[in-house]
Chain A
Amino acid sequence: MIGIIFNLPNLLYVVAVAISFLKPDYEMQSPIAYIIVLTLFELAHLRSRIFRKDDGHPDDMYSIIFAIAILWDVEAKFIKSLHYTVFPPPENVFSIFTQDYDKMIQGFFHSIGLIIAGVGLGMFFGVFLGLLIGWNLRARQSLTPIINVIAAIPALVYAPYVVAVAPDFKSASIITIFLGIFFPTLMNMIGNVAAVDKRLIDSAKSLNLSSFDMIFKVLLPDCAIPVITSLRIRISAAFMILTMAETIGSNTGLGYYVRKWSSFADYERVFAGIILIAVVVTAINSLIKIFEGHTMKWTTA
């Protein structure tokens, strides 16, 4: 019981909250939002203490989180190696969420729609064509070098071109994300199929599978793990591409938000936007992980 109250993360939490009330020598926003965030972390910490089911070292992790918060706060308010407008205190950054939440929610839905469309299409066609090309030796050998070259071009390089040429921003973003996801997925998928254990293929062949069954009931599930694992990387990549595209040709979206306010030198909003994107990407990754756990029972079982 005593261990639940007296421990390093709790101590650091109290210190962080105390410091948030101290006033610097400039005008500061209300610390309420910041304290709420700290408290959410504290609740998560208490939960891990009480239920003790998290593996790893949750105490260390929460100590580090609170320590970073304290350092950030102290630096921005009192040490001030950077001016507070350039490196704003967490109180100001988090209070942005209470002011701008409507724009943020709108931006979130705008961006997430484009990402789902682009990544979905890119993954679907990449996996599908990858299976077909990977399975056909001649197609694989003749196309692989070409696809490798195309896949090596970062989508960011041609994003401005697509944005300029496409009829509207929506299609431009989807096309760019699609291309940026499709080619790497295709390349990996061809490699995955080529690397499927020959013994598995032999045993499948000896069951007299049709080509359709061979591709979709044997190769696809056998390659499913790397595909789902790569989904997380692909979504981060899609966010990068989208942010880039949004900075060129959009007037809404999460990337646009960050870009716009950094050109106005409103770094509080820039920080808030970056944190929001991090939260969104992390949330998506957790969703993928849950999905992975459901479909991939047989690998961990």
Chain B
Amino acid sequence: MPDIDVKNVSFEYEYENKKYLALDNVSLRIQDGEFVCIIGQSGCGKSTLITLMEGLQKPLAGQILIGDKNVDGPGKDRCMVFQHYSLFAWLTAKRNVIFGIKQVYPKMPKKDLDRIATDYLHKVGLEGYENKYPRQLSGGQQQRVAIARSLAMNPDILLMDEPFGAVDTKTRTELQDLLLDLCRNEEKKRTVVFITHDVDEALYLADRIIFMQPKKIRRDIQTNFGKVRKRDELTSSPEYQSLRRELIGLFYERVRDEIAEEGVYI
């Protein structure tokens, strides 16, 4: 399976004839099968970077390669879970999942579609919600349907933009473990790019953490915690603690820099 290669990518938003440079010459190579978390303060360009990888927007300069193919649009090898809810309001939870699966396996018989969709909805804890419309679901539940849909589509590369942002702590823990399970323990290894604000989430999930500052990548950290993780053991280990301090330090450093730039005194 191929790597994702982001090469000297810049991106600009244009609105009301003004331009805003959101990414400035970003380079990043993500290995096949790697679980990469991108963290960084709000507005630093995380979503922008991941939509470029998905192919929903084109870089202003530079290029993104998957294997040796240039990304110029969404592809069957990738699947994205958006920061916002992205279900079809006119389809029930199950039909939303089925709709996704059908795009990848157009010839799959109805019975299998039904079984797989139900299966994944159960995995994300939505038993009994299969026939509800998105309107009837809470934000976190809708997000879980979207997660079930992308997992059921069984892509090589999963792009996830703050997927667990609107989910309570308990469900979040469960979903994290489910995701790790599906990405590590199944025969098929997946590459995951996962955006989060939460340092602990990043440390628990990632093989590698990319810390972004506005427009740029600030740090690229390999976690080396190994593939199989026990949450309690991990969080109490000294390596975890020191990495955690470092990341939180990076967050605060940014805040201090900004305050200094704007000439505010505390």
6 tightest A-B contacts by CB? A203-B86, A298-B133, A206-B80, A221-B90, A298-B90, A301-B133
Return the chain A residue nearest B84 by Cβ.
Answer: A199
Q: Are B103 and A207 in contact (CB under 8 A)?
A: yes
Q: Are A207 and B90 in contact (CB under 8 A)?
A: no
Known: A203-B82, A298-B89. A209 touches B135 (CB 8 A): no
Which A residues touch B103, using CB under 8 A?
207-209, 213
A202 at the interface (CB under 8 A from B): yes
Q: Are B135 and A207 in contact (CB under 8 A)?
A: no
A111–chain B nearest beta-carbon distance, Å: 34
Q: Are A200 and B86 in contact (CB under 8 A)?
A: yes
A284 at the interface (CB under 8 A from B): no
A299 at the interface (CB under 8 A from B): yes
Q: Are B84 and A297 in contact (CB under 8 A)?
A: no
B229 at the interface (CB under 8 A from A): no
Q: Are A205 and B74 in contact (CB under 8 A)?
A: yes
Q: Which of A201-224 contact B (CB under 8 A)?
A: 202-209, 213, 217-218, 221-222, 224
Distance A209 CA – B100 CA, assembled complex (angstroms): 9
A63–chain B nearest beta-carbon distance, Å: 37
Interface SS, B side = loop
Which A residues touch B91, using CB under 8 A?
298
* 5 A–B contacts, CB within 8 A, in A order: A203-B82, A203-B87, A299-B89, A301-B133, A301-B136
Distance A301 CA – B73 CA, assembled complex (angstroms): 35
Q: Are B56 and A205 in contact (CB under 8 A)?
A: yes
A49–chain B nearest beta-carbon distance, Å: 34
Which A residues touch B74, using CB under 8 A?
205-208
Which B residues touch A206, using CB under 8 A?
54, 56, 74, 78-80, 82, 86
Distance A203 CA – B56 CA, assembled complex (angstroms): 9
Q: Are B133 and A208 in contact (CB under 8 A)?
A: no
Which A residues touch B73, using CB under 8 A?
205
Q: Are B100 and A207 in contact (CB under 8 A)?
A: yes
Q: Which of A188-208 contact B (CB under 8 A)?
A: 199-200, 202-208
Which B residues touch A200, using CB under 8 A?
86, 88
Q: Are A301 and B56 in contact (CB under 8 A)?
A: no
B251 at the interface (CB under 8 A from A): no
Known: A209-B103, A298-B135, A301-B135. A202 touches B88 (CB 8 A): no
Return the chain B residue nearest A224 by Cβ.
Answer: B90
Return the chain A residue nearest B51 by Cβ.
Answer: A202
B75 at the interface (CB under 8 A from A): yes
Q: Which of B's residues lie within 8 Å of A, judged by CB?
A: 51, 54, 56, 73-76, 78-80, 82, 84, 86-91, 99-100, 103-104, 132-136, 146, 153
Distance A249 CA – B180 CA, assembled complex (angstroms): 75
Q: Are B82 and A202 in contact (CB under 8 A)?
A: yes
Distance A262 CA – B246 CA, assembled complex (angstroms): 89
Instruction: Name 15 extra pairs, CB < 8 A, besides A205-B74, A208-B74.
Output: A199-B82, A199-B84, A200-B88, A202-B56, A202-B82, A202-B86, A206-B54, A208-B76, A208-B104, A209-B103, A217-B99, A222-B89, A298-B90, A298-B91, A298-B135
A244–chain B nearest beta-carbon distance, Å: 37
Of the candidates B51, B73, B87, B99, the one having the most CB atoms from chain A within 10 angstroms of its own CB is B99
Distance A22 CA – B255 CA, assembled complex (angstroms): 88
Distance A297 CA – B136 CA, assembled complex (angstroms): 11
Which B residues touch A202, using CB under 8 A?
51, 56, 82, 86
Distance A261 CA – B90 CA, assembled complex (angstroms): 49
Q: Are A207 and B99 in contact (CB under 8 A)?
A: yes
Q: Are B89 and A208 in contact (CB under 8 A)?
A: no
Which B residues touch A301, using CB under 8 A?
132-133, 135-136
Distance A208 CA – B76 CA, assembled complex (angstroms): 7
Which A residues touch B78, using CB under 8 A?
206
A13–chain B nearest beta-carbon distance, Å: 42
Known: A199-B84, A202-B56. A208 touches B75 (CB 8 A): yes
A245–chain B nearest beta-carbon distance, Å: 37
Which B residues touch A297, using CB under 8 A?
133
Distance A277 CA – B135 CA, assembled complex (angstroms): 38
Return the chain A residue nearest B83 by Cβ.
Answer: A199
B133–chain A nearest beta-carbon distance, Å: 4
Which A residues touch B87, using CB under 8 A?
203
Which B residues touch A207, using CB under 8 A?
74, 79, 99-100, 103, 153
Which A residues touch B132, using CB under 8 A?
301
Which B residues touch A298, using CB under 8 A?
89-91, 133-135
Q: Are B88 and A221 in contact (CB under 8 A)?
A: yes
Q: Mark A158-199, 1 if CB is under 8 A from B, else 0.
A: 000000000000000000000000000000000000000001
Distance A68 CA – B199 CA, assembled complex (angstroms): 71
Distance A56 CA – B103 CA, assembled complex (angstroms): 46
Which B residues touch A204, using CB under 8 A?
88
Distance A41 CA – B74 CA, assembled complex (angstroms): 60
